[in-house]
Amino acid sequence: MVHATLLLASTRPTWPDILVFAAAAAVILVGAVGVVTSRNPVHAALSLVMTLFGVAVLFIEQEADFLAAVQIIVYAGAIVVLFLFVIMFLGVDRAEDINVEPLVGQRPLAFVFSAITLGGVLAMAATAHWVTGARQVVGPIEGHVAGPNSPAGEPAQLGKQLFTTYLFAFEATAALLVIAVVGAVVLARRPPTVHADQEDTSDSELSA
C-alpha cells in the first residue's frame, strides 16, 4: 500500500520543469475554454488541437514520449481532422448564437453541479487517505536494458506489456476498430435507389 503523501513527495522540481508545466497548463486551459466558448465549430476544433498539444507536452514531461507522439498523430492528426472534415462537409461552420439559453436554468445548474464535482474531486485528492495498490503491478516504466547512457526503454516496455499482459484487450480493440469502420461505412452509405417512388414514400414515412 502506497500512501498519497509518499507518492507526491518527489525530488525538488527545477525551474525549466516548472516553466514547461506552467506554459503547457496555460495552453491546455485556454484551449479547453476555447472549445466550450467558441461560437464557430471550426474555432472549437482548432482550440481542441491546442489542448491536445499541451497534453502531449505534459506527456513528454512525464516520461511518456511514445504516448505523446501517438497523441499528436492520432488525436491532432486524425480525430480533429475528421471533426474538421465533417464540419466542412456538412457546411455547419457558421457562427452560432450561444447567448440564448433554450432550457431556462440549465446553465446555472450545469455550473453548480460541475463546481461541486470539481470541488469534490480536488478535496478528495487533497485530503483522502489513498490506497492506490502496490507499485509496479504490471512492470516498471524503464526497461531492463535502459542504462544511464541508453535512451529510456519506455516504448519497448510499453510494447512488451501490450503484447503480453494486455494481449486480449489489444485484440479486442482491433476488433472494435474494424467494427467501427464497418459501422461508419454502413452509416455513410446512401440507400440504393431502386425505384424513385419507393424512395419518396419511405422518406416521407421516416420524416413524418
Partner 1 sequence: MSLSGAWYLGLAAIVFTIGAIGLLVRRNVLIMFMCIELMLNAANLTFVTFARMLHDIGGQAVVFFVLVVAAAEVVVGLGIVVTNFRRRATTVADDLDSLKG
Window 142-181: residues binding partner 1 (CB under 8 A): 154, 157-158, 161-162, 165-166, 169, 173, 176-177, 179-181
Nearest to 35 by CA among 23, 21, 22, 52: 52
> For helices 80-90 and 41-61, what crossing angle results, to 10°?
180
What is the Cα–Cα distance from 69 to 137, expressed in whole angstroms?
Answer: 25
Q: Compute the distance between CA of residue 88 and CA of residue 138 in angstroms, rounded to an integer.
A: 44
| Among residues 69, 72, 79, 146, the one that binds partner 1 under rule CB under 8 A | 79
Which residues between 101 and 130 bind partner 1 (CB under 8 A)?
Answer: 102, 106-107, 110-111, 113-115, 117-118, 121-122, 125-126
> Does 198 help bind partner 1 (rule: CB under 8 A)?
no
Residue 199 near partner 1 by CB under 8 A: no
Q: Which residues of 16-37 are buried (b: 16+ CB within 10 A; e: fewer)?
A: eeeebeeebeebbeebbebbee
Minimum Å gap between C-beta 151 and partner 1 is 16
Which parts of 46-65 interact with partner 1 (CB under 8 A)? 48, 51-52, 55, 58-59, 61-64
40 within 8 A of 24, measured Cβ to Cβ: no
Of 148, 147, 167, 144, give the one whose Cα is nearest residue 157: 144
Task: Determine, following the binding rule CB under 8 A, whether residue 76 of this chain makes contact with partner 1.
Answer: no
Quick one: 12 or 129, whose CB is closer to partner 1?
A: 12
Question: Of 3, 23, 88, 98, which one interacts with partner 1 (CB under 8 A)?
Answer: 98
Residues 2-41 close enough to bind partner 1 by CB under 8 A: 2, 7-14, 17-18, 20-21, 25, 28-29, 32-33, 35-36, 38, 41
Is 200 a binding residue for partner 1 by CB under 8 A? The answer is no
For the chain, how many residues are written? 208
